[in-house]
Amino acid sequence: MLKEQQNRVAGTIDTALFINNVAQAGEGESIRVVNPATEELVADFAGASIDQVDAAVVSAVNAFEQERWKDPQFRKDVLLRLADLIEENRDMLMDTLIQEIGTPINLTANHIDTPVAFLRWFAQQAVIDRTRHLGFNSSRTAVSTVVYRPVGVVAAITAFNYPLLIGLTKIGAALAAGCTAVLLSSPQAPLAVLQLGKLIRLAGFPAGVINILAGGAQVGERLTEHPGVAKVSFTGSVNVGRRVMQQAASGLRSVVLELGGKSAAILLPGVDFNKYAYSLHARYARNAGQGCGSPTRILVEASRYQEFAEISRQVYGRLKVGDPRKADTLLGPVINAAQRNRIEDGVKTAVQNGAEVLAGGGRPDIEKGWYVNPVLVGSLDNKAALAREEIFGPVSVVLTYKDVDEAIAIANDSPLGLKAYVFGATQECLQIVPKLHVGTVQINGGSPLRPDAPMTGYKHSGVGSEWGEDGLREFLRPQHIDCPLA
């Protein structure tokens, strides 16, 4: 217990950047963090300057060449130590997340425990030898071997909704592969990410292996275009992802992009709505709907539309909106007032165009904070903006189908392809999976995230993969060794 107490960092929120294992005050534009639940100022500090971006990348370039960092066992050890330290500082990190993004405390497992488990899995992967021995060539005059080398410095850019989960799994894969990294937080959620600097130093990482920055668009642009960066891994919106890809392309850098989602949940004919209604609605409502894999298009048989609407109204009362520090709160506030306005405007426009609110809607009776009630919208088709655009709020639409083929067609009729959900008899669900144009299909609700499974966005939902062996290999490149026998 004493050892754990010594490894817990102080409760004061640190706003220092972390460059070359040194805490540095920012020298760039101001970043203001306001608590979405109370509208109180949490922090006002300077983010990174362009010179500090350059210093972070140079630090990572130099660290990449260190012999110590090329030792897989050493990388495994420090990654495991970092995972332990994050776990020991679980409460501090979660408290910071609640202050800066208003996420409910009942999502602590998602925000803290899951990335800890992922870091431990990536640590074990660091020591695996992926060498392939191809043997003789066709004339038996030479043998070939394929080895896998780390790509170099990785620019890892995380998002505001799950800043630690996204950021730590990005750098976990990159570090396991032998890369070094510059981690850039979202300017809307920089604080929990910045707290990692002290833990990284305690874990024993060499100077420069991990650098942490906070900043806005100019900082991101400099980082993604920096000649010292070999790979960019970004999570965010489709539009920003396009810009990141264009910026990286100026130096012919490859990218991993995890972008938006408009995931369909197909309730197959005959499915028991009562069995799945609450978990389905809670899935897109949690974290105030700020999740890229949320089932925001629910497909039901046309003949059972009213039945589903009635059962949904019955369970909607259990989707509690309120103080994110209370254990029974499912939805805290959304990230800012502008996002709440966008959500409300989207629903309002849909209703003006003929849609109906089936359940929920409006704002809760809470004096302060950017709260919005979850809402289920029906009487619209898949061409409606609310059915096509990622709202990033606790909103889902109900679409109807005549038969399963039409349900599949509706599910696939989207520019996005991150996830799909299918509910029904398991074998019936499995039969339609090959027809769905998405990177992940969850059957009857699926299970919690697992580190050995990839997350891949089809279509405009992404480029490349995160997590699992596929995600780790994004940070490796093959080298063919051709050796004559003579």
CA distance 240 to 238: 6
Contact (CB, 8 A) for 194 and 16: yes
Contact (CB, 8 A) for 164 and 137: no
pLDDT in tens, the chain (486 residues): 334 444 444 447 899 999 999 999 999 999 999 999 999 999 999 999 999 999 999 999 999 999 999 999 999 999 999 999 999 999 999 999 999 999 999 999 999 999 999 999 999 999 999 999 999 999 999 999 999 999 999 999 999 999 999 999 999 999 999 999 999 999 999 999 999 999 999 999 999 999 999 999 999 999 999 999 999 999 999 999 999 999 999 999 999 999 999 999 999 999 999 999 999 999 999 999 999 999 999 999 999 999 999 999 999 999 999 999 999 999 999 999 999 999 999 999 999 999 999 999 999 999 999 999 999 999 999 999 999 999 999 999 999 999 999 999 999 999 999 999 999 999 999 999 999 999 999 999 999 999 999 999 999 999 999 999 999 999 999 999 999 997
CB atoms within 10 A of CB 190: 28
Cα separation values, 98 from 35, 101, 200, 374, Å = 8, 6, 22, 19
CA 415, 421, 422: angle at the middle one, nearest 5? 125
Q: What is the DSSP string of 420-438?
A: EEEES-HHHHHHHGGG--S
CA 268, 270, 274: angle at the middle one, nearest 5? 95
Nearest one of 219, 157, 229, 205 to 26, comparing CA atoms: 219
- Tokens of residue 21, six digits: 């294992």
Contact (CB, 8 A) for 404 and 268: yes
CA distance 248 to 225: 6
Domain with CATH 3.40.605.10 in the chain: 2-259+461-482
CA distance 241 to 182: 18
Q: Where are the beta strands (DSSP E) in 9-131?
A: 17-19, 22-24, 30-34, 41-46
Domain with CATH 3.40.309.10 in the chain: 263-451
Q: What is the DSSP string of 306-359?
A: HHHHHHHHHHHTTS-BS-TTSTT--B---S-HHHHHHHHHHHHHHHHTT-EEEE
258 is catalytic: yes
**CATH annotation of 263-451:** 3.40.309.10
**CATH annotation of 2-259+461-482:** 3.40.605.10
Q: Which of 258, 301, 390, 466 is catalytic?
A: 258
399 φ, ψ to 5°? -115, 145
CA distance 36 to 56: 31
CB atoms within 10 A of CB 102: 27
Q: What is the reported pLDDT for 1? A: 36
CA torsion sign for 413, 416, 422, 428 is: positive
CA distance 213 to 220: 10
Nearest one of 96, 211, 233 to 159, comparing CA atoms: 233
Residue entry with tokens 């499974």: 453
Q: What is the reported pLDDT for 12? A: 72
Q: What is the reported pLDDT for 212? A: 98
- Tokens of residue 26, six digits: 């920012």
Contact (CB, 8 A) for 233 and 174: yes
CA distance 116 to 110: 10
Three-state SS string over 144-167 comes to EEEEEEECCEEEEECCCCCHHHHH
CA distance 132 to 144: 9
Q: Is 1 exposed, middle or buried (0-12, 13-18, 19+ CB in 10 A)?
A: exposed
CA distance 159 to 220: 12
